[in-house]
Amino acid sequence: MSKVTLSYPHPPARPDQAPDFSRIDRSAPGALDVPPLDITAQDCWPYAVGLIRVLDDDGQAAGPWADYLGDLTADRLKQGLRDMLRMRAVDQRMQNAQRQGKTSFYLQCTGEEAIGCGFQRQLGEGDMNFPTYRQQSLLIAADYPLESLLGQLYSNDLDPLQGRQLPIMHSARDYGFFSISGNLGTQYVQAVGWAMACALRGNDKIAAGWIGDGATASNDFHSALLSASVYQPPVVLNVVNNQWAISTYTGVAAGRSQTYAARALGYGIPAIRVDGNDYLAVLAVSKWAIERARGGHGPVIIEWFTYRAAAHSTSDDPSAYRAKDEAAAWPFGDPVERLKAHMILRGDWTEDRHEQTWAELLAEVAEVQKRVEAHGTFVNPKPVSPAAIFTGVYADMPEHLRRQRQEMGY
Amino acid sequence: MSKVTLSYPHPPARPDQAPDFSRIDRSAPGALDVPPLDITAQDCWPYAVGLIRVLDDDGQAAGPWADYLGDLTADRLKQGLRDMLRMRAVDQRMQNAQRQGKTSFYLQCTGEEAIGCGFQRQLGEGDMNFPTYRQQSLLIAADYPLESLLGQLYSNDLDPLQGRQLPIMHSARDYGFFSISGNLGTQYVQAVGWAMACALRGNDKIAAGWIGDGATASNDFHSALLSASVYQPPVVLNVVNNQWAISTYTGVAAGRSQTYAARALGYGIPAIRVDGNDYLAVLAVSKWAIERARGGHGPVIIEWFTYRAAAHSTSDDPSAYRAKDEAAAWPFGDPVERLKAHMILRGDWTEDRHEQTWAELLAEVAEVQKRVEAHGTFVNPKPVSPAAIFTGVYADMPEHLRRQRQEMGY
Amino acid sequence: MIEALRSAMDVSLERDPSVIVFGEDVGYFGGVFRCTAGLQAKYGEARVFDTPINESAIVGLAVGMAAEGMKPCVEVQFADYVFPAYDQITQEAARLRHRSNQQFTCPLVVRMPTGGGIFGGQTHSQSPEALFTHVAGLKVVIPSTPYDAKGLLVAAIEDPDPVIFLEPKRIYNGPFYGDHAGTSVNWSSHPAGEVPEEHYTVPLGKAAVTRSGSDVTVLTYGTMVYVAEAAVKAAGLDAEIIDLRTLLPLDLETIRASVEKTGRCVVVHEATRTSGFGAELIAEVQEACFWHLKAPVLRVAGWDAPYPHAQEWDYFPSAERIARALSKVMED
Amino acid sequence: MIEALRSAMDVSLERDPSVIVFGEDVGYFGGVFRCTAGLQAKYGEARVFDTPINESAIVGLAVGMAAEGMKPCVEVQFADYVFPAYDQITQEAARLRHRSNQQFTCPLVVRMPTGGGIFGGQTHSQSPEALFTHVAGLKVVIPSTPYDAKGLLVAAIEDPDPVIFLEPKRIYNGPFYGDHAGTSVNWSSHPAGEVPEEHYTVPLGKAAVTRSGSDVTVLTYGTMVYVAEAAVKAAGLDAEIIDLRTLLPLDLETIRASVEKTGRCVVVHEATRTSGFGAELIAEVQEACFWHLKAPVLRVAGWDAPYPHAQEWDYFPSAERIARALSKVMED
Ligand SMILES: Cc1ncc(C[n+]2csc(CCOP(=O)(O)OP(=O)(O)O)c2C)c(N)n1
Ligand SMILES: Cc1ncc(C[n+]2csc(CCOP(=O)(O)OP(=O)(O)O)c2C)c(N)n1
Ligand SMILES: [Mg+2]
Ligand SMILES: [Mg+2]
């Protein structure tokens, strides 16, 4: 009898089972110190398999990373909370808009708001994110005009992309947000290329790559890590590990790798794993990583440990493949609730003000939504001219496209 | 002033400099023990950054890996030496044949003979290698008929591949040798797929993937490691690190990775680094790895540390990019010389017998060569029918190929 | 068509233990289009399983397995995502038999949803068939009915060579006549929507004449078979519509017979026009039927631009555009 | 042609600090074909450098750099090895301008030696141009003389959009008339072998009539320009030979003018026939010039099989095969 059998990674629970995160190690905040900016990959093992946390379960900020962050003003925290709430308001309303048939597609980042919101607030002018479709939070925290954001989602004349791209596939150069591709992974190595260009120009800008846990399996993840390891450009490579890739458990992308951060260590790139539902941990580690990159210490990988609380997209129903209420069972809670608790503990916030802010932001988004919808929705389309199909394929329109545009009647 | 500069890996010496391998760590044979077959990646760090050796500089076998190998008969050693010498004889003669214009292309594995020769002798019937173009040594040690080997190199009617492939791109299913592709890397993930098929059939066979240090940069290297990590098939993944990829120093493929073996650890695959110029170390580690795979303990990576003593191929002249006499300065010597020294030390061999064996093998190869050349060479071609272009594109020839064959006149 | 495809894999898994199905989300969940729903539960994880998101790994593993003698039928989630696997498909799978002089063969199927009409934007709408028809050693198949989908997929799985199997996702649930604003029709109302439960095959390499006529020949495949039907109706012509079903190898005989009869030809596909498969069809038609042709062969195809989201129906070759081409080709 | 290409990169590196050159073995060593020899020494490692063996990384990095505003000119060692980069080229570089509504653009050049005739076997001989001409957003260029090579490469580097730059390696050192057994000719003996040292461009999108004639039009490019010349001589016909130079966008005007004049056309390329670029040429020619055509347009192309090693000269489209097609097209 052969002793050989294949192995297939399984999630801790399927729909007929109770959520089970007992295998997840929850070391206390403060267990890991702040490494020097020039730490090498070799010394990074504890950070790559541990989890950097700042907020404890009671909402108290503690440990060396809290110290590293220094005293945060109440305004700074409110800004973070408002960013996350605004993000959530947009997600909720646009999810509904899609359900009402007003747009063809939507995709929420619920539960992951802290990551993009916190990271973006640490970036500088001219830095460039290479996001996936689930980093709309970067745009929110970059104060991207909601008109443009929603315009893209409705493919109407407020859409900066003239309706060309699927809703959620934003592009906003002036807000440090690279054009999203539907092809997973491709942006990751492009981020490294952009960062190399920054280094060659000596302009002190950095790039940030973003990728989901599932897409770390892509070839471009490898290409990116390899190139970053070889040329040492100023790039922060983010992995958002939200436990799922559509219906596929993160274990299928991880295999026997200890963590995604640990995989990066193999490439000789320092890597660090962070509680992505902890806004303060996000701020602290982002600050560290961005400073490191800008300071010429080379690339760094951050694995943001989080949970995709919502469905993959409006095309998806996770009840078919994962345990009911898994999100509620997530051992690291909800980023909004956790920051809120911290602020209340500090005396900077109250339940009432929270309710009030949420209502205010929902109203703000609703107001913008109404205005934007007047420019056309999926059920009441006022798309930009079909001639937009032909412009921008090339800088100058070649003859054959001119003929085709004519054939189309424009 | 920006603190950011890019980094470009450099070899220790260029043509105008003296060879310099001082940075290479040469721990003594015996420094590393034999890990249990079910060792995990996490415990593999010492093996992945160390170097397993058996033969010391005097030709003495020592340490736990020597013990693991057990007593080797003189015949076994002679077989190894003869394999390597036969390999070298073929390389020399075919290199010359190419220089004489008798074949379009050739490529030697000088200095790396121990690896394929030793590994192959530990494989079992039905195991399958997925080689690169520099593993002809696997064929030699599989007792592949020289007629077929040389027939392929001359693209004549003795070529099992009917002249279709570039010389050196062998294929020999019955000898456990998968069809070589000119596209670097592709075979590596195919090896994993074959191994999965073995596991699914429960046939106790294993697969062995082969890749050069340069080609570890390829996407398929990543795909292979990832898939092997996820499904845990019986596959031995070999990396032949011969310090060069054509003109490119191995550092360009390694980046800041400690070693190629260390990169594999990131994928959660046990990895081990071996002196590839030490025939006994090759035998020992191959035995261990193959036993491990066949025993159902999953994939394993071996980095064979060696040096490409010859040019990349007959199209290449390394004097343009690397230090003169670098091969001679290689701190781990020549595999033939080292095994010979060991055998002489054991009293199993003499300089005379060595000379005699070498002469004998050269004569054997020359004799076969003469016979094979009678079937046609590049200067005196007797290629198989051009109709071979059309057969085997598909199992059954479709109409359009039949028409084209007709048009060609066949 | 989804049930038909599932049934094809079901009967194949049942009959031949070397058949194996894998891809992204195809295992536990059963595929984002549900084509493999229930198969893992029925045949176990060793026969039907999920993979990491790496298309080159999916195909690369399949090549290794196929060489060993298994018959992998793998899914690429959208045809737009096949490109990371392009190297393994075109340089490896396609050539393994030839380069090894038949020592190793590569009987595998790569299934992928293709085409637009679902508001998927540029990365869920592409039609890359011509990028495979240029590659010797591959077969390229695209069904247009549930009956054909099952029969062709079974034949593809049983074929000894690698097959690219394109599934026009716009007609997964029912035929589509180009009227995107109208109500959608279900397969149950279509004769070819009926699919026998048992094993059968539809041979690769054979086209189907889905409407016979004498005025003009329409060469098309996939979703456009129905849009062409609508266009023919609109144009009021007695057109012959040929559903190619297999693009490589091409059933030139059926094409030739038709064009020799009608003397006119229009080629229709969703893919971008330049260097699309329509070009190959025209090259063959004009060579085979030159003396019968009464007018130039016209192409109706996707514009040479990325597939747009909002302007989808200006991009998608409409029945009106096809009808215009039909009328034009009749003018001469 | 190698010196011409090197000179094109040299003047571009000199003039524009955002030009950057990289690829496998292109740095210290100067490329396996020596096209970049001396450039690293002259411009430094930050401008000209070696990369790991990962074509998708090479192009992916270039896309990121180009988006930032640099002008990368990268080398893929052989066109046969471009496929790992196919995703980055076709899904990313080609569409970045369009999908971002011009926020980001992608001015990059991917250089690669293409074609056969050097006994390279199936992985050093392929001609993948048609796999790029189907992709909207790309330009596809292939020179046939040193003069054009330099001028086109400079134009490609200066072009605001991504350019696939195919270099027919068989004519790197001199024109090749298909007589593989004969002595090789050097560029020094050819008028277009002379290359000015200074900056100049040859515009993209313009074909060249390399021989004017009235009997028949030969559409071709790269190495086959010379083989076609030999064939025309052998056939004793007054053929017009058009060297397309840029395949996408195509110079249809020059083609149309010629075919309207001659009424006959033969298309020649090394790539496999089915769905090759010849198909596109024929589709356009028959549509544009139908009423002028006196005979079907014929294709002479590589057989639909992997490129063989020993049977290279049975595979490579020979002057005899072209001459046969020319005669055949004159028969009608
Ligand atoms: C190359 C490619 N393959 C497959 C897909 C289909 N796809 C879209 S999203 C997705 C899951 C991605 O999961 P992950 O990377 O974890 O990101 P998340 O959705 O969790 O944020 C898949 C498979 C794709 N877009 N691109
Ligand atoms: C995909 C691909 N890219 C580039 C090449 C060209 N090439 C052939 S061999 C080689 C170097 C390989 O070096 P390495 O993997 O270290 O193997 P070695 O020759 O040292 O045995 C290169 C770049 C190729 N064959 N395939
Ligand atoms: Mg995920
Ligand atoms: Mg090497």
Run of H or E residues at C268: strand C265-272
Identify which ligand lies nearest to the alpha carbon of A166: 1
Does the C-beta of A242 come closer than 6 Å to ligand 1? yes
With an 8 Å Cβ cutoff, is C250 touching chain B? yes
Q: Give D155→chain A minimum CA distance, Å.
A: 14
Mutation choice for ligand 1 from A246, A250, A306, A314, CB with most ligand atoms inside 8 A = A246
Q: What residue of B is the nearest CA neighbor of D51?
A: B252
Task: Return the ligand 2 atom nearest residue B182 CA.
Answer: 25
Only one residue has tokens 């902890």, namely A278
Please tell me the predicted confidence (pLDDT) of residue D184.
85
Q: Which residues of D touch C98 (CB under 8 A)?
A: 305-306
Give Dmax over CA atoms of chain A in angstroms: 71
Amino acid letter, residue C12: S
Q: D136: CA distance to ligand 4 center in Å? A: 38
Decide: pTM greater than 0.80.
yes
Q: What are phi and psi of B264, to 5 degrees?
A: -65, -35
Exposed, middle or buried by CB within 10 Å (0-12, 13-18, 19+), for D46? middle
Provide the annotated active-site residues of D.
124
The H helix count followed by the E strand count for chain C is 12, 12
Contact B193 C139 (CB under 8 A): no
Q: Which residues of A touch B222 (CB under 8 A)?
A: 219, 221-222
pLDDT band at D243; cut points 50, 70, 90: very high
- Using the predicted structure, report yes or no on whether residue A155 has a pLDDT greater than 70: yes
Low-confidence ranges of chain C (pLDDT < 70): none
Task: Return the ligand 2 atom nearest residue B240 CA.
Answer: 21
B58 in Cβ contact with B341 (< 8 Å): yes
Sort strands D208-211 and A235-241 into parallel, antiparallel or unpaired. Answer: unpaired
Please tell me the predicted confidence (pLDDT) of residue B377.
95
Exposed, middle or buried by CB within 10 Å (0-12, 13-18, 19+), for D198? exposed
* Helices A219-231 & B219-231 angle (0-180, nearest 10): 120
User: A 168-187 residues with CB below 8 A of D?
Assistant: 169, 171-173, 178-179, 181, 183, 186
- Using the predicted structure, report yes or no on whether residue B1 has a pLDDT greater than 70: no
C154 in Cβ contact with C122 (< 8 Å): no
**D51-91: per-residue pLDDT in tens?**
999 999 999 999 999 999 999 999 999 999 999 999 999 99
Q: What residue of B is the nearest CA neighbor of C139?
A: B394
Q: Which of C20, C24, C50, C61 to mutate to test the interface with B (most CBs of B within 10 A)?
A: C61
Q: By C-alpha distance, which of D122, D107, D37 is closest to D72?
A: D107
The two tokens of residue D75 are: 């080398």
The DSSP code sequence of A262-312 is HHHHHTT--EEEEETT-HHHHHHHHHHHHHHHHTT---EEEEEE----S-S
Q: Give C27→chain D minimum CA distance, Å.
A: 26
Provide the annotated active-site residues of C.
124
Average pLDDT in chain B: 97
- Give the rounded percent of residues in chain B with a pLDDT score beyond 70: 100
Q: What residue of C is the nearest CA neighbor of A409?
A: C314
Contact B171 C100 (CB under 8 A): yes
C154 in Cβ contact with C199 (< 8 Å): yes
Q: By C-alpha distance, which of A303, A108, A109, A285 is closest to A221?
A: A303
With an 8 Å Cβ cutoff, is B315 touching chain D? yes
Q: Which residues of D touch B155 (CB under 8 A)?
A: 309-310
What share of residues in chain B are helix, strand, coil (percent, to 5)? 45, 10, 45
Residue D196: Cβ within 10 Å count: 12
pLDDT band at A25; cut points 50, 70, 90: confident
Report d(CA C20, CA A8) in Å as an integer.
15
Report d(CA B233, CA D68) in Å as an integer.
43
Contact B220 C60 (CB under 8 A): yes
Give Dmax over CA atoms of chain C in angstroms: 60
With an 8 Å Cβ cutoff, is D87 touching chain A? yes
Residue C236: Cβ within 10 Å count: 11
Please tell me the predicted confidence (pLDDT) of residue A381.
86
- Using the predicted structure, report yes or no on whether residue D183 has a pLDDT greater than 90: no
| Helix/strand/coil for B372 | helix
Task: Return the ligand 1 atom nearest residue A132 CA.
Answer: 21
pLDDT band at A1; cut points 50, 70, 90: low
Q: Which residues of D touch A184 (CB under 8 A)?
A: none
**How many CB pairs (< 8 A) connect A and B?**
141
D56 in Cβ contact with D85 (< 8 Å): yes
**A57-106: per-residue pLDDT in tens?**
999 999 999 999 999 999 999 999 999 999 999 999 999 999 999 999 99
**Distance set, CA A133 to CA A80, A130, A237, B380, B408 (Å):** 21, 10, 16, 61, 53
Residue A206: Cβ within 10 Å count: 28
Q: Which residues of A touch B299 (CB under 8 A)?
A: none
**B238-255: per-residue pLDDT in tens?**
999 999 999 999 999 999
A379 in Cβ contact with A102 (< 8 Å): yes
Q: What are phi and psi of D243, to 5 degrees?
A: -95, 110
Q: What residue of D is the nearest CA neighbor of C248?
A: D274
Report d(CA D279, CA B318) in Å as an integer.
43
Give Dmax over CA atoms of chain B in angstroms: 71
Mutation choice for ligand 1 from C54, C81, C86, C112, CB with most ligand atoms inside 8 A = C81
Does the C-beta of A252 come closer than 6 Å to ligand 1? no
D307 in Cβ contact with D125 (< 8 Å): yes
Region of C263 please: left (phi>0), alpha (psi -120 to 50) or beta.
Answer: left
Instruction: Closest CB to C80: pick one of A182, A218, A248.
Output: A182
Instruction: Closest CB to B389: pick one of D27, D123, D314.
Output: D314
- Give the rounded percent of residues in chain B with a pLDDT score beyond 90: 95
Chains contacting chain C through 3 or more C-beta pairs under 8 A = A, B, D
Mean pLDDT of B122-150: 98
Instruction: Closest CB to A4: pick one of B222, B268, B296.
Output: B296
Chains contacting chain D through 3 or more C-beta pairs under 8 A = A, B, C
B62 in Cβ contact with B54 (< 8 Å): yes
Does the C-beta of A41 come closer than 6 Å to ligand 1? no
The two tokens of residue B91 are: 């390389």
Please tell me the predicted confidence (pLDDT) of residue A171.
98
Q: What residue of C is the nearest CA neighbor of B221?
A: C57
User: C 98-157 residues with CB below 8 A of B?
Assistant: 98-105, 136-137, 139
Does the C-beta of D33 come closer than 6 Å to ligand 2? no
Q: Which residues of A touch D70 (CB under 8 A)?
A: 197, 200
Instruction: Closest CB to D63: pick one of A169, A193, A400.
Output: A193
Q: Which residues of A touch B268 (CB under 8 A)?
A: 254-258, 262
Q: What is the length of chain A?
A: 410
B300 forms beta bridges with B236
B77 in Cβ contact with B343 (< 8 Å): yes
Q: Which of B161, B183, B314, B378 to mutate to test the interface with D (most CBs of D within 10 A)?
A: B183
- Using the predicted structure, report yes or no on whether residue A205 has a pLDDT greater than 90: yes
Q: Which of B6, B220, B301 to mutate to test the interface with A (most CBs of A within 10 A)?
A: B6
Identify which ligand lies nearest to the alpha carbon of A312: 1
Report d(CA D332, CA D328) in Å as an integer.
7
**B67-81: per-residue pLDDT in tens?**
999 999 999 999 999
Q: Which domains does chain A have, with CATH numbers?
A: 41-379 (3.40.50.970)
Task: Return the ligand 1 atom nearest residue A246 CA.
Answer: 11
Mean pLDDT of D104-125: 97
